[in-house]
Amino acid sequence: MLERYRMLDLARMLPGPFTSHLLADMGMDVIRVEEPNGRAGAGRDIFTPPDPTPAEAVRAAAHNAVGRNKRSIALNLIDPAKREAAQQVFYKLVETADVILDGYRPGTTAWLGVDYETVSKINPRIVYCAISAYGADGPYAQRAGHGGQFFAASGLMTDMGRGGAEPEGPAIAFGDCVAALYAANSILAALMERDVSGQGQFIDVSLTGATMTMANARPQGPGIAAARGDRPARAAARRRGPGLGSVRCRDGKYISLGNGETTFWERFCRAIGREEFIPLRDTHDDDAYDAMIETVRALFLTRDRDEWIDLLVAANTVVAPVHMNLEEAYEDPQMQHIGMNWDVQHPTEGTVRQLGFPVRFSRTPVEFQRWASLLGEDTDDILAEVGYDRSAIDDLETQGVVRRWRGE
C-alpha cells in the first residue's frame, strides 16, 4: 500500500521504531539509519542487547517484531571526525526519501546536521516527524525523559493508583505506543497534504501530550471536567463493572465482566440467577452494594471459567476471558482468526512467534516481508540505490563512515 514512500528512520527508543513499524508493515520502505556502535550502555535499539555476539544479534533480530519489514544502514553521524562524510551520504539518501523520523532530544539532529531546516533545503517535499518527551520547544523541551516522566507529567499517573497507593504508571509502554499512533497518522496526513500542495512539513509529536489525550477515554467521562474528581469514586467504579472487574472462577482462572450499561446489567443478573440484584446497580446503600459484590464473587467460584463464559455469552452480556500472559492470548481462537499470531520459520532460530498486524485490508493485506535487519545488513544495497559503486562503498567503510554486517 505504501510502497511508493521511503522513510529514513533515525529513532532507536520505542516510540520512533513503533511508528515506523506500523508504516513498514503497510509497505513503506523504511531504512533504519543507525549508529555503527552502541553508546550510553544501550544497544542499537531496546530489543537488542549491548555489544551482542553475532549469534545474539541474529537471535534478537529474529524476535524483533517491531523491526521487521525494515532495512538497515549503519552510518556514523555521531563521530565528529566522520560526520561530514556521513552527512554527505545522508543528504544523498534524503534526495529519494519522503519521510524522516527523528527520535532524538530536540536540538540533537541540528548538531548532527540532519535537522528539518537543513534537509528541507535538499528536498522541500520531505515530511519530517520528530518525537520527543515534551515537544520540540518550550520550557521542558531540553529535559531528558522516558516513559515514567512523560506519563507523570501527563496528569494520568495518579489514575493508575489503587486504594491510596503511591502514583504508578502502566505496566506497558502505554505512552510510547499512543504517541507512535499519533505520529504514524500524522505522517500519512502530511503525505496526503503534500500530494495537493507539493510541500513537505515538520511534525512535532509530544509523548506527554499524546499520553495526556488519553484522559478523553476516562470511564468518568472525557476531558478536564471529568478529571476534577467531582463524581463519587464508587459511581465511577460501577460504570466500569459495576464493581466487578476480574473475577476468579472455580478452576483458578479469571473472567472479565463489564456490564455497566443498564441492559447488560439486567441480563447479567438474570443469567446468574440473581434478578434481585438488578436495582442495586444504582443504589446508595453501600452495605447492600458491597454484600452483593461479595455474593457474586462467591458465586463465580462454583463453576469453571469456560462454563461461565458460555452462559454469559449466551445471555448477551459483556464478558471475556482474562489471559494471564501473552502466550494465552496468542492461542485465543479469535486472535488467531484475525491474524494476530504470525508463526514464521527463521533460517537459524526455527519457528518464531510474532504478533501480527491488527488491521485487515480487503484488497491489500499486510504480510510478513522480511526479518528485522541486522546492523548495517543493507548498507550495500541502500547506497547502491542512490548511486554509490562498490569501490566508493568500500572507501566509506574503510574510513569508518559506514558499517556493513559481516557477522563479526
The phi, psi pair for 383, rounded to 5°, reads -70, -35
Provide the 3-class DSSP secondary structure of residue 181.
helix
What is residue 219's predicted lDDT score, i.e. its pLDDT? 59
The phi, psi pair for 164, rounded to 5°, reads 80, 10
Are 106 and 144 contacting, i.e. CB atoms less than 8 angstroms apart? no
What is residue 169's predicted lDDT score, i.e. its pLDDT? 66
Q: Can you spell out the DSSP letters for 239-272?
A: HHSSS-SEEE-TTS-EEEE---SHHHHHHHHHHT
The sign of the CA dihedral 44, 49, 54, 57 is: negative
Q: What is the pTM of this model?
A: 0.86
Report the DSSP pairing between strands 341-346 and 350-355. Answer: antiparallel
Alpha carbon distances (Å) from 215 to 180, 181, 182: 17, 16, 15
Over the chain (408 residues), what is each successive 10-residue block's mean pLDDT? 97 93 98 86 80 92 95 96 97 98 95 97 97 90 80 70 59 85 96 97 92 74 53 45 78 90 92 95 87 94 96 93 89 91 94 91 92 96 97 97 89
Domain 6-214+338-403 fold is Rossmann fold (3.40.50)
The phi, psi pair for 359, rounded to 5°, reads -120, 135
**Domain locations in the chain as residue ranges:** 6-214+338-403, 254-321
Number of neighbouring beta carbons within 10 Å of residue 182:
21
